[in-house]
C-alpha cells in the first residue's frame, strides 16, 4: 500500500485540514483524511461571510463510512466556498489538493499548524513537490 501524498507547499492541522500560506487562505482536507474517510458523499461548508475559529468545527464531511466534523485550521472570515465540491463531493477523494478544496478564509489568526514534513512523519504520508 503506497503512502498518501502531502504537498510540501501547504500547512496542515492535527485534524487533517490543509491550507495555503496566503492571508486569504484556501482550505481543504488532506489526501490522508480523504483516504481514511472513504467515498465522500456529502459536504457541509461554512457560509460565506461567517466567522470561523481555529480548531473549531465549521462543517461536516459525510462518507459511506461515517460523518466527520470539518475543523477550521485558522480564525477569520469565510469569503468563498467551493460550490463544485458541494455539488460533487467525490472531488474531495479524487483531487483533495486541487478541485476538492473546500473554502477560502481571510485569516486573522492561525491555529497550531504543521509543515508538510512534520505532518507526513506523524501520519505516515509522503511529501511531494506536486501531484
Mind listing the pLDDT tens digit for each residue in 54-88? 999 999 999 998 999 999 999 999 999 999 999 99
Q: Where are the domains of the chain?
A: 23-121
Distance from C-alpha of 119 to C-alpha of 74, rounded to nearest angstrom: 17
Inter-residue contact 6 to 118 (CB < 8 Å): no
pLDDT at 131: 80
pLDDT at 99: 97
Inter-residue contact 67 to 59 (CB < 8 Å): no
Q: Copy the grid coordinates of residue 12.
A: 496542515
Cα within 13 Å of Cα(65), Cβ side: 9
pLDDT at 2: 77
pLDDT at 11: 97
pLDDT at 93: 96
Q: Which CATH number fits domain 23-121: 3.30.70.100, 3.65.10.10, 2.40.50.100, 3.90.950.10?
A: 2.40.50.100
pLDDT at 1: 56
Amino acid at each position: 500500500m503506497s503512502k498518501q501524498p502531502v504537498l510540501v507547499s501547504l500547512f496542515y492541522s492535527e485534524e487533517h485540514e490543509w491550507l495555503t500560506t496566503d492571508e486569504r487562505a484556501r482550505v481543504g482536507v488532506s489526501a490522508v483524511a480523504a483516504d481514511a474517510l472513504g467515498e465522500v458523499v456529502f459536504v457541509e461548508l461554512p457560509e460565506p461571510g461567517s466567522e470561523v475559529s481555529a480548531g473549531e468545527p465549521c462543517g461536516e464531511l459525510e462518507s459511506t463510512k461515517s460523518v466527520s466534523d470539518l475543523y477550521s485550521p485558522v480564525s477569520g472570515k469565510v469569503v468563498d466556498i467551493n460550490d463544485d465540491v458541494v455539488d460533487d463531493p467525490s472531488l474531495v477523494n479524487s483531487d483533495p489538493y486541487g478541485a476538492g478544496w473546500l473554502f477560502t478564509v481571510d485569516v486573522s489568526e492561525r491555529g497550531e499548524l504543521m509543515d508538510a514534513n512534520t505532518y507526513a512523519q506523524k501520519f505516515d504520508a509522503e511529501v511531494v513537490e506536486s501531484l
